[in-house]
Amino acid sequence: MRPAIRTDNLTQGYGGNPIIENLTIEIDGGIVGLLGPNGAGKTTLLRTLATVLPPRSGQVQLFGKSLDGDADVRAARRHLGFLPQEFGYYPNFSLYEFVRYCLWLRQVPGRRAREAAMDAIEAVDLGDQAKTKMKALSGGMLRRAGIAQAVAGGVRLVLLDEPTVGLDPEQRLAFRELMRRVSAEATIVLSTHLVEDVAAICDRLHVIASGAFGFSGTPDELIGAAVDGARGDTELERGYISVLRDERVRA
Amino acid sequence: MIRVLGMELRRSPFLWVVLPISALAIAVLLRERETWHAVWPEASVQVIAAATQLPGVAVAAVAAWAAQRVHRTGTADLLNGAARPRWQIEAVQLFSSLVFSWIVLAVVSLIAGFVTARMAPPGSLWPSYLLLGFAATIIVTALGHAVGSTVNSRLAPPVAGFLSFFPLFVMSLLVPYFGEANKEVSPAALAARVAFAITCVFAALFVSARTVVGRRPAWRPLMATGSAGLAVLAVVALGPPQQARAPAEDPVCGLVERTRVCLWPENAARLPGALQATKALIDTTRHVFPYPDVVAEEGLAIAGGSTVFVGVVAGSTGEAFGSLQSFRLTWALLKDCGAEESEVAGRRRIEARAKLDTWISSSHLGRLQDAYWDSIALTSAGRQEVGSTLKLARAEQVQWARRQITIMGACGG
């Protein structure tokens, strides 16, 4: 079985500043959380995996294929859903139209697209807002609309950058349920600041700091990494803070 | 694809402006409809001028605004990470903008067709002119789209409008101002404009396109803008959009005394006015000089006797036809004295022609014509002389006019 994501010595950055250096990872199946402080490179990594940013050096493989040429990248994108941190949308489109448009961008055939769009909208509990214009949706609804377009159409890899920002507790619970359902068919990689989301739904965690993975393991293993005296309200937070402190010392 | 096009059409900013732009085009079209409503080629040119010139500037600006959506809404990641090639995404949006610009052209064509069908001989708007207008709408819309998709600034729409203003208004490169019956669309010029339209579309689609690995390929925008540049050169090199037509085999003619007056068949509705103007001129110039056997519109090949060719300016009435006839007739009476003639003598003869011309027009009007219509060769003393002559008895006026003709024919050293 080929992993959904594999990077070899991936280096990425903006201008003269490298943000990720020589990152080699393999992600396959389940729900994978990316944790890390601001500026650690989570968004850059997700944008690179979403093929929006070309790697500066190194290689990215999706679904076991290198992304060397146009055809490979396009083929991978058909099975890839991405929710960027700054989710852009067309304000005059209705929610249904926008999700449908995103499916068109992903080259989902028209026959399947209608059903897939409605299914995704229902899945984020916005069925009654399908005809509402995007500009009339609240912040939380927009985030759910973004999640809907990312999971629509039977994708095999879902990349979500801060998906739960703006969601109320009830919606976050619904989001976790949705992720569990989607993960039966697809690999999900999500970045978040909310440690409780990670604890609740992620099968594996990667703590990213200074462009490298400082920790990779299960939530329980991260809890186990906590050192005495580490700050944090939960065990997972203490584990996370401990890993970060350790990384800083090493850096 | 069709469904997404439907979405783009329903959500296009053009929905808000297509009515005002159409209203503007209709207002421009109908402003002086009596000048074209009886002649199909003139109506055809007015259609494309009305639908593309002022509205074209607005269309380019709105197309730029529509194409800036990617910058305004922050959807660059969505589009740059799409499986679908970027040019296809741009193509659907550009096509929706084009549909609206064609709606303006279609509405104006329908109205002009309806108005002209009631006044003109059987016929229709000329497809070659409509094709020219079609190409012009594509050019300005694609230009606007290209500017909007590449420039992330609020200035992009006015810049696009300004860029369209030049080829359409200032240089009149894309569409002509008038559709005289003796002219037609030049096939080479039309082909150059169609090629320009196609390259503009390519530029609009590829100027913002990226490869899937995210780098903007230099050769695509370079090739697109380069080919558009070559097409502009072709448009300029191949000259104006119109050329002279081959003489009509079936001109419309009428007889005034023994003078035949012939016009292009498209100008049939103008024949009564032309006959009336010719009759007035014959009456005015009776005993002054012999009137030609044939007065023919420029571009016709009419056999038989002495002939004067008169251009029928698009939009002209019978009065203008008479004025142009007088102009041509008096120039025909001016002898060619060659380069040896002194400047003073030449100027004297040319002023005599100007006086004769003003006298003919003024006699026809029954008063001294407005100075605006005088030849620039007419001095204020000459104008006063014509005014005094008009107060004399007819026989004396004829004597005076003959004297002018004598002066016009006497070469001085």
CA-based nearest residue to A51, from B80, B208, B86, B71: B80
Answer whether B73 touches A (CB < 8 Å). Answer: yes
Residue B413: inside a domain:
no
Nearest CA in chain B to A49: B81
The H or E element containing residue B253 is: strand B252-256
Nearest CA in chain A to B75: A88
Which site among A78, A85, A105 would you substitute to test the B interface, given the most B Cβ atoms closer than 10 Å to its Cβ?
A: A105
Torsion sign (Cα): A157, A161, A162, A168: negative
Residues B16 and B130 in one domain: yes
Answer whether B69 touches A (CB < 8 Å). Answer: yes
Tokens of A116: 């897939």
Residues B75, A101: C-beta atoms closer than 8 Å: no
Whether the Cβ atoms of residue A244 and residue A72 lie closer than 8 Å to each other: no
Q: Is B22 exposed, middle or buried (0-12, 13-18, 19+ CB in 10 A)?
A: buried
What residues contact B179, with CB distance under 8 A and at least 6 apart? B36, B39, B41, B42, B43, B44, B45, B46, B126, B129, B242, B314
Residues B257 and B240 in one domain: no
Answer whether B216 touches A (CB < 8 Å). Answer: no
Residues B288 and B385 in one domain: yes
Residues of chain A with C-beta less than 8 angstroms from the C-beta of B85: 74
* Predicted local distance difference test score (pLDDT) of residue A117: 94
Give every residue of chain A whose pLDDT is below 50, as ranges. none
Give every residue of chain B whose pLDDT is below 70, as ranges. 170-171, 209-218, 313-319, 413
Distances (CA, A) of A84 to A47, A57, A139, A161, A187: 8, 22, 15, 5, 17
Residues B212, A74: C-beta atoms closer than 8 Å: yes
Q: In what order do the strands lie in the sheet with B259-263?
A: B252-256, B259-263, B294-297, B307-310
pTM: 0.85
Tokens of B299: 């571009």
> Facing residues of A31 across strands?
A188
Residues A52, B213: C-beta atoms closer than 8 Å: no
CA-based nearest residue to A191, from A10, A8, A38: A38
One-letter amino acid identity for B335? K
Whether the Cβ atoms of residue B264 and residue B251 lie closer than 8 Å to each other: yes
Question: d(Cα B171, Cα A96) in Å, to the nearest integer?
Answer: 46
Give the minimum alpha-carbon distance from A109 to chain B in angstroms, rounded to a whole number.
10
Between the two ends of chain B, the Cα-to-Cα distance in Å is 80
Which site among B152, B213, B220 would you substitute to test the A interface, given the most A Cβ atoms closer than 10 Å to its Cβ?
A: B213
Last residue of a domain, one of B244, B268, B296: B244
Residues B207 and B277 in one domain: no
The H or E element containing residue B193 is: helix B187-206
Residues of chain A with C-beta less than 8 angstroms from the C-beta of B212: 51, 70, 73-74, 77
Last residue of a domain, one of B244, B264, B295: B244
Nearest to A70 among B76, B77, B212 (CB): B212
Answer whether A88 touches B (CB < 8 Å). Answer: yes
Tokens of B157: 């729409």
3-state secondary structure of B5: helix
Question: d(Cα B81, Cα A67) in Å, to the nearest integer?
Answer: 13
Residues B240 and B258 in one domain: no
Question: Cα B129 vs. chain centroid, distance in angstroms?
Answer: 11
3-state secondary structure of A27: strand
Residues B134 and B230 in one domain: yes
Residues B89 and B222 in one domain: yes
Give the model confidence (pLDDT) of A64-119 as tens digits.
888 878 888 899 999 999 999 888 999 999 999 999 999 999 999 888 899 999 99
Residue B272: inside a domain:
yes
Residues B15 and B45 in one domain: yes
Residue B258: inside a domain:
yes
What is the CB neighbour count within 10 angstroms for residue A173? 12
Structural domains of chain A ordered from first start: 5-79+156-249 (3.40.50.300), 88-155 (no CATH)
Interface confidence (ipTM) of the complex: 0.87
CA dihedral A62, A64, A66, A71 (to 10 degrees): -80
Residue B376: inside a domain:
yes
* Predicted local distance difference test score (pLDDT) of residue B216: 56
Question: d(Cα A83, Cα A190) in Å, to the nearest integer?
Answer: 9
3-state secondary structure of A25: strand
Tokens 């080259």 label which residue?
Answer: A107
* Predicted local distance difference test score (pLDDT) of residue B331: 87
Which site among B1, B14, B15, B78 would you substitute to test the A interface, given the most A Cβ atoms closer than 10 Å to its Cβ?
A: B78
Nearest CA in chain B to A52: B81
Q: A21-24: which pairs have CB atoms within 8 A and are 24 or more residues apart?
A: A21/A211, A21/A212, A22/A58, A22/A212, A23/A58, A23/A211, A23/A212, A23/A213
Q: Is A15 exposed, middle or buried (0-12, 13-18, 19+ CB in 10 A)?
A: exposed
* Predicted local distance difference test score (pLDDT) of residue A193: 75
Answer whether A101 touches B (CB < 8 Å). Answer: yes
Residues B333 and B389 in one domain: yes
Residue B283: inside a domain:
yes
Answer whether A110 touches B (CB < 8 Å). Answer: yes
Number of domains in chain B: 2
Last residue of a domain, one of B244, B261, B294: B244
CA-based nearest residue to B305, from B295, B314, B294, B318: B294
Domain that holds residue B86: 2-244
Residues of chain B with C-beta less than 8 angstroms from the C-beta of A93: 7, 11
Residues B259 and B240 in one domain: no
Residue B118: inside a domain:
yes
Residues B82, A106: C-beta atoms closer than 8 Å: yes
Residues B8 and B153 in one domain: yes
What residues contact A81, with CB distance under 8 A and at least 6 apart? A106, A149, A150, A151, A152, A153, A155, A157, A158, A159, A186
Which site among A63, A97, A100, A118 would you substitute to test the B interface, given the most B Cβ atoms closer than 10 Å to its Cβ?
A: A97
Residue B239: inside a domain:
yes
Tokens of B243: 């050329």
3-state secondary structure of A246: helix
Give the model confidence (pLDDT) of B100-121 as tens digits.
999 999 999 999 999 999 988 8
* Predicted local distance difference test score (pLDDT) of residue A171: 84
Residues B239 and B158 in one domain: yes
